[in-house]
């Protein structure tokens, strides 16, 4: 079987250039790499290639005006980075055309192969159009779509953004006819998308086993709770900061990330002595900070509409670090995780403050034991090799 991943993973050369221009890699890139690593461990997979393209804000909002094509070898294949001109109004289409061209070249190279599989990461129309071209050239190819988020439940602020999102959603739903199987981050997505049993499996996330902590970690000298993620008020960051205004200065919160409400959240954090916003750092740096933290917090409320479709990949990252987690009982979180996370008793700032104080009162050994139990669960049941063998068998059927 020859497998292709369509997404945002690009060679180191492109990644380093983007980093030098202020463009950070995302958690989604890490997840796709874990998926590729898991597929590399399957004996039946002869080659696993990836075609990736960085998603940029249009120049000059992004400092990057254009990207060059790039390529590098992997264990069982190659990573192809698609270049394009990132000019206003036309960048999206130019990127799409470049992705389609690369996909057609891959299909031409594998046209005579009896087995081909394409895994798309995210409901993004340029990736789906590229997969459509592969399906046209190789009708027997199996196409799987990983649904981490539903586009219409992402940031929809601003009239222009809403219109563009809804137009793109029409394209996406039209392209779904070329998809054979779906990898869903929550079971509620199946109902929303109108999928039948047998068309989808639950794909809660993935973690490369080499990154999962197996022993007690050295913690930072100063105790602190950490939130790393999207700085969007819908995700409960306001309530979290408000909760720390009710706690002592010995109970500290550190925040990493970016998002629509970054400036306001930064100002809120700056007004409190025990809350610190430290900007945006790479996924590898975030993971190191997770391992050093005392506790990890995900304040996303269960009461908001998008909670049913919220991807629990943050829970994977948190569990892998071996640091205890406290979060709300999100409807998309499978029951098996409840033995390895602490749950908030409610969604108000007072609830958050009370429950965080309880965790801070535990000893270092107690906290370490809780965190390592979660990491062990992940390593034994949710590693990239285990998850991707399940995915491979399902898509191949």
**Residue 22 has what pLDDT?**
86
pLDDT tens, position by position, 167-205: 999 999 999 999 999 999 999 999 999 999 999 999 887
253 DSSP β-pair partners: 225, 275
Q: So what CATH class is 211-381? A: alpha beta
Question: Could you count the other beta carbons within 10 Å of the beta carbon of residue 364?
Answer: 11
Q: Where are the domains of the chain?
A: 2-206+382-396, 211-381
Q: How would you write the pLDDT of the chain (397 residues) with one tens digit per residue?
A: 999 999 999 999 999 999 899 887 777 898 999 999 999 999 999 999 999 999 998 999 899 999 999 999 998 999 999 999 999 989 999 999 999 999 999 999 998 877 899 999 999 999 999 999 999 999 999 999 999 988 877 765 668 778 888 899 999 999 999 999 999 999 999 999 999 999 999 988 788 888 899 999 989 889 999 999 889 888 999 999 999 999 999 999 999 998 889 999 999 999 999 999 999 888 889 999 999 999 999 999 998 877 888 766 778 889 999 999 999 999 888 888 999 999 999 999 999 999 999 999 999 999 999 999 999 999 998 889 999 999 999 999 8
- Cβ partners under 8 Å of residue 361, min gap 6: none
∠ CA 77-213-319, nearest 5°, is: 95
Which of these, 235, 297, 237, 296, lies nearest to 265 by C-alpha position? 237
Question: Which string of DSSP letters, residue by residue, matches 375-389?
Answer: HHHHHHHSBHHHHHH
Q: Looking at 93-211, which runs of residues are DSSP E strands? A: 116-121, 142-147, 181-184, 200-202
Which phi and psi angles does 58 have, rounded to 5°? -65, 140
**Residue 83 has what pLDDT?**
96
Which of these, 216, 217, 222, 256, lies nearest to 360 by C-alpha position? 222
Task: Please report the sign of the dihedral spanned by the C-alpha atoms of residue 149, residue 150, residue 156, residue 161.
Answer: positive
DSSP-assigned letter for residue 92 = H
Measured CA to CA, the distance from residue 133 to residue 229 in angstroms comes to: 34
Q: Which secondary-structure segment (H or E) carries 71?
A: strand 70-73
Q: Contact at 8 Å (CB) between 283 and 9?
A: no
2-206+382-396 and 211-381 have identical folds: yes
**Residue 103 has what pLDDT?**
98
Measured CA to CA, the distance from residue 140 to residue 138 in angstroms comes to: 6
pTM of the model: 0.89
**Residue 10 has what pLDDT?**
96
Structural fold of domain 2-206+382-396? Rossmann fold (3.40.50)
Measured CA to CA, the distance from residue 236 to residue 328 in angstroms comes to: 10
The rounded percent of the chain whose pLDDT value lies above 90 is 76
17 DSSP β-pair partners: none
* Bond preceding residue 340 cis, omega within 30 of 0: no
**Residue 157 has what pLDDT?**
66
């Amino acid at each position: 079987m020859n497998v292709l991943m369509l997404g945002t993973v690009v060679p180191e050369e492109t990644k380093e250039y983007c980093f030098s221009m202020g463009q950070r890699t995302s958690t989604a890139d890490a997840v796709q790499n874990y998926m590729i690593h898991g597929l590399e461990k399957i004996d039946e997979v002869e080659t696993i290639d990836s075609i990736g393209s960085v998603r940029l804000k249009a120049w000059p909002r992004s400092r990057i005006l254009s990207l060059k094509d790039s390529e590098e070898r992997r264990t069982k294949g190659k990573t192809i980075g698609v270049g394009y001109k990132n000019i206003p109004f036309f960048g999206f289409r130019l990127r799409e055309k470049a992705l389609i061209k690369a996909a057609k070249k891959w299909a031409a190279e594998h046209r005579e192969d009896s087995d081909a599989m394409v895994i798309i990461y995210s409901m993004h129309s340029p990736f789906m159009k590229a997969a459509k071209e592969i399906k046209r050239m190789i009708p027997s190819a199996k196409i799987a779509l990983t649904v981490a988020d539903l586009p219409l439940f992402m940031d929809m602020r601003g009239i222009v953004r809403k219109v563009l999102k809804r137009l793109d959603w029409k394209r996406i739903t039209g392209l779904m006819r070329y998809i054979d199987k779906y990898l869903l981050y929550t079971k509620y997505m199946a109902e929303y998308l109108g999928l039948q049993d047998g068309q989808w499996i639950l794909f809660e996330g993935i973690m490369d086993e080499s990154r999962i902590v197996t022993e007690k970690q050295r913690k930072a000298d100063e105790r602190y709770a950490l939130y790393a993620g999207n700085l969007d008020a819908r995700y409960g960051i306001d309530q979290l900061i408000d909760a720390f205004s009710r706690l002592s200065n010995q109970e500290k919160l550190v925040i990493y990330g970016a998002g629509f409400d970054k400036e306001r959240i930064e100002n809120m954090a700056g007004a409190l002595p025990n809350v610190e916003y430290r900007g945006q750092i790479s996924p590898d740096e975030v993971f190191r900070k997770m391992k050093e933290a005392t506790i990890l917090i995900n304040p996303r409320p269960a009461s908001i509409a998008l909670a049913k479709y919220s991807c629990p990949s943050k829970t994977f990252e948190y569990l892998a670090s071996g640091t205890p987690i406290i979060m709300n009982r999100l409807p998309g979180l499978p029951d098996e995780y409840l033995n390895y996370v602490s749950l908030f008793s409610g969604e108000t700032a007072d609830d958050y403050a009370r429950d965080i104080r309880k965790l801070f009162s535990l000893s270092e050994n107690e906290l370490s034991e809780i965190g390592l139990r979660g990491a062990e669960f992940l390593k034994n049941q949710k590693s990239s090799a285990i998850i991707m063998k399940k995915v491979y068998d399902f898509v191949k059927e």
